């Protein structure tokens, strides 16, 4: 009978758990900033609909791959949550933009026509000069135009007279000339950028702290039970890592869709030369979530090493540690490619935030 001697402190399993919990916390709130941004602007023009649709398809394949491959239940539950959040965000885009998958923006000519429309514009625009044929003006027309011009000048002059000065009791005092307002000073964007940076940093710190707190509470609640149930024979009885073909196929399809989903958003930002309407915190949470998710996968501890930390007499056989670790990484390669590749593309979107920062109204 081996005596249990659990170690207290940071180890590989704790690092994997902390990174995993931070990743979960980030992915839980990842869609909230963009949904709030769309609601605040009453528009979803800054977001590519194709980006959301491809991301939704990737989450669907993520569910299938996670179920078939037999990953931990938390990953499966999160995949279902991602899918539901995608549907909410997509429904919001359809609400503000109509049922369309086109990311086409109005041209400059169309925008000019909309800008020139005022309250005094006719409901049915028409060209009066084109509707009436031109003719040579006659003497009668010239006299009529002269009388109309004189009447208009007299009418406009009469409107400028204050009726109170027609009374003898009220002296005619010339009104003071209106003061000219000083030119408006353009508001610097540095203060706004600093405020946005501080708020985003605080939000990120709070979410990461919530993830660490969740790991701490879950570890304390399960620590005694974990060491009580551990035994030298549990390594052979535990569920071995298995390689499911269809699970891997869906996993790689999910990775390809995740990588391809960022391309439409990058192109939309490039065409608009702006990132207005896109929440930076949305992609910031996605970056941190992908980074910590990849770290949690690499920080894997084989079962024999876990038992070795509990029971001194149990040690990994020669080559067992590396063999099990390599098999674990191979099984999760598709998820690593999807998360790490998406992280690089999100960094490109952050570059667009920096390049087009002056174009944001």
Per-residue pLDDT at 323: 86
| Residue 44 in tokens | 């979803």
Per-residue pLDDT at 2: 39
Higher pLDDT, 79 or 318: 79
What is the DSSP secondary-structure string of 168-207? TTS---PPPPPPPPPPPPPPPHHHHHHHHHHHHHHHHHHH
**Are 338 and 255 spatial neighbours (Cβ–Cβ below 8 Å)?**
yes
Per-residue pLDDT at 237: 40
**Cα 85 to Cα 148: distance, rounded to the nearest angstrom:** 66
Indicate the average pLDDT of the chain. Answer: 76
Mean pLDDT, to the nearest integer, of 4-20?
69
Mean pLDDT, to the nearest integer, of 145-168?
56
Find the length of the chain. 361
Residues whose CB is less than 8 angstroms from the CB of residue 247 and which lie 6 or more positions away in sequence, other chains included: 64, 65, 66, 67, 68, 69, 70
Mean pLDDT, to the nearest integer, of 35-52?
91
Asked if residue 301 has pLDDT above 70, the reply is: yes
Per-residue pLDDT at 124: 57
**Are 289 and 27 spatial neighbours (Cβ–Cβ below 8 Å)?**
yes
Asked if residue 337 has pLDDT above 90, the reply is: yes
Per-residue pLDDT at 1: 39
Tokens 């610097």 map to which residue?
188
Which of 20-24, 232-236, 315-319 shows the lowest mean pLDDT across its residues?
232-236
Of the candidates 38, 61, 54, which has an alpha carbon nearest to the alpha carbon of residue 86? 54
| Residue 161 in tokens | 């007279």
Q: What is the pLDDT of residues 271-284, one digit of tens each?
A: 999 999 999 999 99
Q: What is the pLDDT of residues 173-191, one digit of tens each?
A: 555 555 555 555 454 556 7
Asked if residue 104 has pLDDT above 50, the reply is: yes
| Residue 135 in tokens | 């003719």
Phi, psi of 244 (to 5 degrees): -95, 125
Q: What is the pLDDT of residues 346-360, one digit of tens each?
A: 999 999 999 988 776
Of the candidates 298, 246, 334, which has an alpha carbon nearest to the alpha carbon of residue 69? 246
Q: What is the pLDDT of residues 220-264, one digit of tens each?
A: 776 555 545 545 554 444 445 677 888 889 889 999 999 999 999
**Are 324 and 241 spatial neighbours (Cβ–Cβ below 8 Å)?**
yes
Half-sphere exposure of 260 (CA within 13 A, CB side): 13
Mean pLDDT, to the nearest integer, of 264-275?
93
Of the candidates 268, 264, 244, which has an alpha carbon nearest to the alpha carbon of residue 334? 244
Of the candidates 255, 302, 280, 293, which has an alpha carbon nearest to the alpha carbon of residue 350? 280
164: helix, coil or strand? Answer: helix
State percent of the chain over pLDDT 90.
33
Per-residue pLDDT at 163: 56
Long-range contacts of 311-317 (CB under 8 A, 24+ apart): 311/2, 311/3, 311/4, 311/5, 311/230, 311/232, 312/2, 312/3, 312/5, 313/2, 313/232, 314/2, 314/232, 314/235
Per-residue pLDDT at 4: 39
**Are 315 and 308 spatial neighbours (Cβ–Cβ below 8 Å)?**
yes
Per-residue pLDDT at 77: 79
Asked if residue 313 has pLDDT above 80, the reply is: no
Per-residue pLDDT at 52: 93
């Amino acid at each position: 009978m081996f005596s249990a001697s659990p170690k207290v402190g940071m180890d590989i399993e704790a690092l994997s758990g902390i990174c995993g919990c931070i990743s979960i916390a980030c992915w839980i709130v990842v869609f909230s900033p963009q949904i709030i941004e769309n609601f605040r602007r009453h528009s979803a023009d800054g977001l590519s609909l194709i980006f959301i649709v491809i991301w939704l398809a990737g989450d669907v394949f993520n569910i299938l791959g996670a179920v078939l491959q037999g990953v931990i239940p938390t990953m499966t539950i999160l995949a279902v949550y991602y899918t539901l959040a995608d549907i909410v965000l997509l429904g919001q885009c359809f609400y503000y933009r109509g049922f369309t998958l086109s990311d086409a923006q109005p041209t400059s000519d169309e925008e000019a026509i909309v800008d020139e429309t005022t309250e005094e514009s006719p409901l049915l625009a028409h060209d009066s000069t084109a509707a009436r044929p031109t003719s040579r003006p006659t003497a009668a027309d010239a006299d009529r135009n002269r009388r109309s011009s004189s009447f208009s000048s007299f009418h406009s002059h009469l409107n400028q007279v204050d009726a109170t000065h027609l009374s003898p009791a009220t002296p005619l005092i010339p009104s003071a000339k209106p003061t000219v307002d000083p030119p408006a000073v353009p508001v610097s964007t540095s203060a706004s950028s600093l405020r946005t940076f501080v708020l985003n940093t605080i939000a990120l710190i709070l979410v990461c702290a919530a993830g660490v707190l969740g790991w701490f509470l879950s570890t304390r609640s399960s620590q005694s039970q974990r060491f009580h149930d551990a035994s030298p024979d549990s390594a052979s009885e535990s569920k071995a890592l298995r390689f499911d073909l269809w699970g891997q196929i869906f996993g790689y399809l999910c990775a390809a869709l995740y990588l391809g989903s960022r391309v439409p958003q990058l192109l939309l930002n490039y065409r608009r030369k702006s990132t207005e309407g896109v929440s930076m915190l949305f992609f910031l949470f996605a970056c941190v979530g992908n980074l910590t998710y990849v770290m949690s996968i690499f920080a894997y501890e084989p079962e024999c090493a876990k038992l070795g930390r509990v029971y001194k007499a149990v040690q990994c056989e020669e080559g067992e540690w590396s063999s099990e670790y390599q098999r674990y990484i191979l099984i999760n390669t598709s998820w690593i490619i999807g998360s790490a590749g998406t992280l690089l593309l999100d960094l490109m979107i952050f570059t667009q935030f920096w390049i087009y920062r002056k174009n944001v109204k």
